[in-house]
Amino acid sequence: MKRAKFIAVFFYLILCFTQSLFGQVAEEQIAPGIIYREYRRAEGPWVIQTVIIKRGLSDFELGAALGGQYIIGIEPLDKIAERYTRAGRFPLAGINGDFFILQRDPFQGDPVGLCYIDGELVSSPGTRAVFVILDDGTPDIERFTMTATVTRSGGAGSKVVGINQRCPENGIVLLTPTFFSETRPQLGSMQIVMELIDTLMVFKTHCRYIVQKLLNQDSLLTFHSRQCALIGLGSGAGFIKNVTIGDTLWYSPTLEPNDRRIRQAIGGGPRLLRNRQISIEASAEGIAESFVTTRHPRTAVGFNSEYIFLVTVDGRQPGYSVGMSLIELAQFIKELGADEAINLDGGGSTTMWVRGSIRNKPSDGSPRSIANALILYSKSPIRE
Do 275 and 354 belong together in one domain? yes
Confidence check: pLDDT of 15 > 60: no
Q: What are phi and psi of 163, to 5 degrees?
A: -125, 130
The number of residues making up the chain comes to 384
Distance CA 192, CA 214 (A): 6
Task: Count CB-CB contacts under 10 A for residue 23.
Answer: 17
188 vs 322: which has the higher pLDDT: 322
Instruction: Name the amino acid, one letter, at 149.
Output: T
Do 161 and 228 belong together in one domain? yes
pLDDT above 70 covers what percent of the chain? 91
What does the pLDDT read at residue 14?
A: 46
H-helix segments, the chain: 2-22, 77-86, 235-241, 289-293, 326-336
Q: What is the DSSP track for 97-145?
A: ---B--SSSTTTT-BSS-EEETTEEEE---SS-EEEEETTS-EEEE--E
Q: What are phi and psi of 127, to 5 degrees?
A: -100, -5
- Give Cα separations from 313 to 45, 49, 197, 249, 287 (angstroms): 11, 6, 43, 47, 20
Do 312 and 281 belong together in one domain? yes
| Range from 193-202, 320-329, 333-342 carrying the lowest mean pLDDT | 193-202
Host domain of residue 176: 145-256
Do 310 and 362 belong together in one domain? yes
Q: Residue range 146-154: average pLDDT?
A: 89
What does the pLDDT read at residue 200?
A: 73
Span 224-268, pLDDT tens digits: 888 889 999 999 999 988 888 888 888 889 999 986 799 999 999
Give a yes or no: residue 205 inside a domain.
Answer: yes
Do 135 and 265 belong together in one domain? yes
- DSSP, collapsed to helix, strand or coil, labels residue 96 as strand
Do 104 and 203 belong together in one domain? no
Instruction: Please count the structural domains in the chain.
Output: 2
- Give Cα separations from 85 to 32, 201, 299, 378 (angstroms): 20, 26, 23, 11
Do 100 and 150 belong together in one domain? no
H or E stretch including 213?
strand 206-214
Distance CA 302, CA 295 (A): 19
Q: By C-alpha distance, which of 130, 49, 27, 53 is closest to 377?
A: 53
156 vs 203: which has the higher pLDDT: 156
Span 174-216, pLDDT tens digits: 999 999 999 998 888 888 888 876 777 776 777 777 787 876 5
Q: What is the pTM of this model?
A: 0.92
Give a yes or no: residue 358 inside a domain.
Answer: yes
- DSSP, collapsed to helix, strand or coil, labels residue 380 as coil
Which of 223, 256, 289 delimits the end of a domain? 256
Confidence check: pLDDT of 21 > 90: no
Instruction: Name the amino acid, one letter, at 202.
Output: V
Do 101 and 197 belong together in one domain? no
Do 102 and 57 belong together in one domain? yes
Give a yes or no: residue 19 inside a domain.
Answer: no
Give a yes or no: residue 17 inside a domain.
Answer: no
Give a yes or no: residue 243 inside a domain.
Answer: yes
Do 234 and 193 belong together in one domain? yes
Span 267-298, pLDDT tens digits: 999 999 999 999 999 999 999 999 999 999 99
Q: Residue range 297-305: average pLDDT?
A: 98
Chain-wide mean pLDDT for the chain?
91
Give a yes or no: residue 5 inside a domain.
Answer: no
Do 341 and 357 belong together in one domain? yes
Which of 208, 240, 256 delimits the end of a domain? 256
> Which pLDDT band holds residue 217 (cuts at 50, 70, 90)?
low
Give a yes or no: residue 357 inside a domain.
Answer: yes
Bridge partners of 298, per DSSP, are 313
Confidence check: pLDDT of 322 > 70: yes
Give a yes or no: residue 320 inside a domain.
Answer: yes
What does the pLDDT read at residue 195?
A: 83
Which of 226, 256, 286 delimits the end of a domain? 256
Q: Residue range 100-115: average pLDDT?
A: 96
What does the pLDDT read at residue 196?
A: 74
C-alpha 248 chain-centroid distance: 33
Do 184 and 98 belong together in one domain? no
Q: Contact 148/173 with Cβ under 8 angstroms?
A: no
- DSSP, collapsed to helix, strand or coil, labels residue 152 as strand
Number of H helices, E strands in the chain: 5, 26
